[in-house]
Copies of this chain bind each other. A is one copy, B any other.
Amino acid sequence: MKNELTDRQREILTFIEQFRNENGYPPTLREIGRKFEIASTFGVKRHLEALVKKGFINIESNASRGITSLKNEFGLISDKLFQTESNFTKIPIIGRVAAGTPILAIENIEVSLVIDSSFLKKTGDYFALKVRGDSMIEAGIFDGDFVIVSSRKEALNGEVIVAMVGDEVTVKTYERSANQISLVPQNKNYSPILIDGKSEFSILGKVTGVIRLLN
């Protein structure tokens, strides 16, 4: 047996892939059969077994919709993108911004976001944060926006930064005078946060991008 697919098998493999992309779960034997007008589940099953034997899928026994590990005719799809194109950068989205909870715990990283590297300046550490509140709307940063942040510990006047004040993370404009650091909101309804010697304060990074998703 050659490890090449017959036309029929290729059709079915393609259908499984499409189905999963559309529905979020693989098809059942009967759903495949309906599509290809195969009346017997056994007919379908043997196609799947052929696909397993040839290494294109795995099937979890006795599990409904138990098709896993899709490959296509060219081999593993999962590796394909990373081999050919490497100009993407994966950015972790740092956990929930709830007051009082530690946010920068690295274990909190649940989701990543991949963006075109051309959006970023140099190589460096980036992370993303979902913004809460409207204190920066005049700078075009709205509640629910994602900000892309370049990690750094210092900032220049006028830059939009992400800072840690006490145990809260905040996005503000950085203003430093002779002996006073101000975190200035871009919204008339809010007042600057003044940093005195006592406050726990640190700069986490500079905002280098904003992403907003609408419905």
Contacts and interface: CB of A to CB of B under 8 A. Distances in A.
Contacts of A116: 113-115
Interface stretch (A41-49, A60-68, A189-197): A60-68
14 contacts: A21-B122, A24-B26, A25-B25, A73-B96, A74-B111, A74-B146, A78-B83, A81-B85, A87-B114, A208-B214, A209-B212, A210-B211, A210-B212, A210-B214
B208 A211 contact: no
Contacts of A76: 111, 113, 213
A24 B207 CA distance: 25
A213 B119 contact: yes
Contacts of A145: 140
Interface of A: 14, 17, 20-26, 28, 60, 63-70, 72-78, 80-88, 93, 96, 110-111, 113-116, 118-119, 122, 130, 137, 140-142, 144-146, 160, 207-215
A84 B70 contact: yes
Nearest to A86: B21
A88 to B, nearest CB: 6
B160 A70 contact: no
A110 to B, nearest CB: 7
A84 B86 CA distance: 13
A210 B122 CA distance: 22
A189 to B, nearest CB: 15
A76 B91 CA distance: 14
A60 to B, nearest CB: 7
A54 to B, nearest CB: 15
A145 B67 CA distance: 27
B140 A212 contact: yes
